[in-house]
Amino acid sequence: MTVTEALKLRKSTRAFLNKQVDMEIVQRILNTARHAPSGVNTQPWQVAVVSGDKKRDIEQTMENAFNSGVKGKMDYQYYPNEWQGAYKDRRRACGLQLYSTLQIAREDKDRQKQQWLANYRAFDAPVVLFFFMDKVMETGSFLDYGMFLQSIMLTAVEEGLAVCTQAALAEYPQIVKEKLDYPNDCTLICGMALGYEDKEAVVNSYRTPREEVDSFTKFFE
């Protein structure tokens, strides 16, 4: 498989088979991804690979928090306070594409809630990866982390696995840190669902569009 093929095959998978992932495969993925670049070779990533009872404990605690009305708050601000222009349009289109694929009506708040809760279960993937970084690190390390995450995703595709990188899994950082015994003075970047795609699931049948190169690129000579 080429890098180009892996890039085009990768997608946000939201339904997984009930099939365990061999931890040797996860080890291979991380062993490859560790070669991702970082500013002055800081390598700011810290990874927790979670499955089994520990995964179920974390996801149930997050679901309980959400259902009890506890509002999640990430360790950093991911999205803008006010959505504008094309970003607002793309965000709306992304949500509409998901709900229309699943035939969830705008007024069906219960099904919308159930679909959202699936985020906290990592869409029932057998493995979830949580990504941490020391809070002393600044904005540049977030760029480094993006390259590391992309390296994991592409290598996972090469291994025949599917992924979904999720900001939602970082909405209750104190729960995750407490359950995994990580210190409060670290930043929970995000989580990633990892497993084998359920190719029969309707939710996996659509792909979000991408802008053409000319729409975001200027060439200078």
Tell me the per-residue pLDDT of 161-191, one tens digit each, with 9 for 90 and over.
999 999 999 999 999 999 999 999 999 999 9
Residue 107 lies in a domain: no
Which CATH number characterizes residue 21's domain?
A: 3.40.109.10
Q: How confident is the model at residue 34 (pLDDT cuts 50, 70, 90)?
A: very high
Residue 48 lies in a domain: yes
Percentage of the chain with pLDDT > 90?
A: 97
Residue 9 lies in a domain: yes
Q: How confident is the model at residue 117 (pLDDT cuts 50, 70, 90)?
A: very high
pLDDT tens, residue by residue, 191-214: 999 999 999 999 999 999 999 999
Residue 219 lies in a domain: no
Residue 92 lies in a domain: no
In this prediction, residues 128-142 reach a mean pLDDT of: 97
Domain that holds residue 44: 3-78+119-206
- Which pLDDT score is estimated for 177? 98
- Judged against a pLDDT cut of 90, whether residue 57 lies above it is answered with yes
Residue 217 lies in a domain: no
* Chain centre distance of CA 81: 21
- Which pLDDT score is estimated for 106? 87
Take residue 170 and report the two structure tokens written for it. Answer: 């970082």
When divided into structural domains, the chain yields a total of: 1
Take residue 195 and report the two structure tokens written for it. Answer: 């497993």
Burial of 156 per CB tally in 10 Å (0-12, 13-18, 19+): buried
Lowest mean pLDDT among 79-88, 103-112, 123-132: 103-112
Instruction: Find, among 170, 67, 50, the residue nearest to 117 by Cα.
Output: 67
In this prediction, residues 124-142 reach a mean pLDDT of: 97
Q: Distances from the Cα of 57 to the Cαs of 51, 96, 178, in angstroms?
A: 10, 31, 11
In this prediction, residues 155-166 reach a mean pLDDT of: 98
- Which pLDDT score is estimated for 51? 98
Residue 97 lies in a domain: no
* Chain centre distance of CA 161: 14
- Judged against a pLDDT cut of 90, whether residue 150 lies above it is answered with yes
Residue 91 lies in a domain: no
